Amino acid sequence: MSQPGATSKASKKNQTTIPLRVRKALKIAKGDTLLWTINGDEVSIRIIGKDKKDSTKAPDMSLLEWSLKEIDL
């Protein structure tokens, strides 16, 4: 079933934010891999990979933490 659309703008670096309505409808989460398919003047987005990492339990290591860990080896 089709739902109302949402809009976003491209930044100076041609980046855009996926609107909340779209993120919720597709259940897009941080780290998910998206496939953008171009068909003429239309684009479709599909999730092709869900991030398995639970960022609430294992936050990303900072560069400093990572480098210190490497030094300890």
Q: What is the CATH number of the domain that holds 41?
A: 2.10.260.10
Number of domains in the chain: 1
In whole angstroms, give the CA distance from residue 28 to residue 9: 19
CB 22, CB 44: distance < 8 Å: no
Residue 2 lies in a domain: yes
Helices (H), the chain: 20-26, 63-72
Whether the predicted pLDDT of 41 surpasses 60? yes
Residue 3's domain comprises: 1-51
Average pLDDT, the chain: 79
pTM of the model: 0.57
In three-state secondary structure terms, 60 is coil
Q: What is the pLDDT of residue 73?
A: 45
What is the pLDDT confidence band of residue 40, given thresholds at 50, 70 and 90?
A: very high
Whether the predicted pLDDT of 42 surpasses 50? yes
- The residue assigned the tokens 């900072």 is 62
